[in-house]
Amino acid sequence: MQKNMQDATAIVLAAGQGSRMQSSKAKQFMDLQGKPLLYYSLKTFADSGIGNIVIVTGQDDIDYCREMIVDYYHIDHVHAIVPGGKERYHSVYEGLKAVQDARVVMIHDGARPFVTQAMIEASYDTAKEKGAVIVGVPVKDTIKQVSKGGIALDTPDRNTLWQIQTPQSFSYNLIRSAYDRMFEQEDKAITDDAMVLERYGRHQVTVIMGDYHNIKITTPEDMIVANAYLDAIR
């Protein structure tokens, strides 16, 4: 049975240029087995029972997103498509400002095509209970802290280290107020949404299990992995 998540909005980020992909086309629009990469996460959120979706993309890509992805593939529940900003946190903020009447907001990278229904539902339930939740997976490799000169400085305990993914889900009022405070102080050293809450929300962030297949497409090698995974599950 589909879960009722009508009071939740997904903000799907699709404004990056993807310079490491070595392609003239933004990575979120690259072809993955006949469909734009962005299609896959949008379709999963649309089928999840979520209330609304806000897509954040480049100003010049708004019409493409609407006509060639949302309309063409009949993606339901897309409330708005808005232009992003220079950095990821600018784009998130524009997405937050476009949200209407949501208790929970899920912020997701459009370059992660393999988000699952189970991940979305678990994130929603935990965000309702705890106020803030991110998905991730325990790291498999030994991690080294390395100096700028290439010298190994420290080896953190691998058992305490997780690789963080998206969606990152929050009480809307909680994350919006934290972002408001961040922009008032013009803090630019931000790499994910939980970091904003950690610094400006004074609220603990719960971490739950994601999926090792929930990769972010960043390089050409990632597209090879994504194609192999799709072949395996079809």
CA 52 to chain centre: 15
pLDDT for residue 2: 76
pLDDT at position 155 is 97
Say what the pLDDT of residue 174 is.
97
Q: Which residues contact 158 (CB under 8 A, 6 or more apart)?
A: 138, 139, 141, 142, 143
| pLDDT for position 234 | 76
Residue 168 CB partners (closer than 8 Å, separation 6+): 106, 107, 108, 133, 134, 135, 192, 193, 194
The pLDDT assigned to 189 comes to: 74
Per run of 10 residues, the mean pLDDT along the chain (length 234 residues) is 90 80 77 96 96 96 96 97 93 96 97 97 98 97 96 96 98 96 79 91 94 95 95 87
In whole angstroms, how far apart are CA 204 and each of 114, 135, 175?
A: 27, 14, 12
Domain coverage including residue 202: 5-233
Quote the pTM value. 0.95
HSE-CB at 137 with a 13 A cutoff on CA atoms is: 12
Q: What is the pLDDT of residue 201?
A: 85
CATH number of the domain residue 24 falls in: 3.90.550.10
Q: pLDDT at position 185, please?
A: 82
Number of domains in the chain: 1
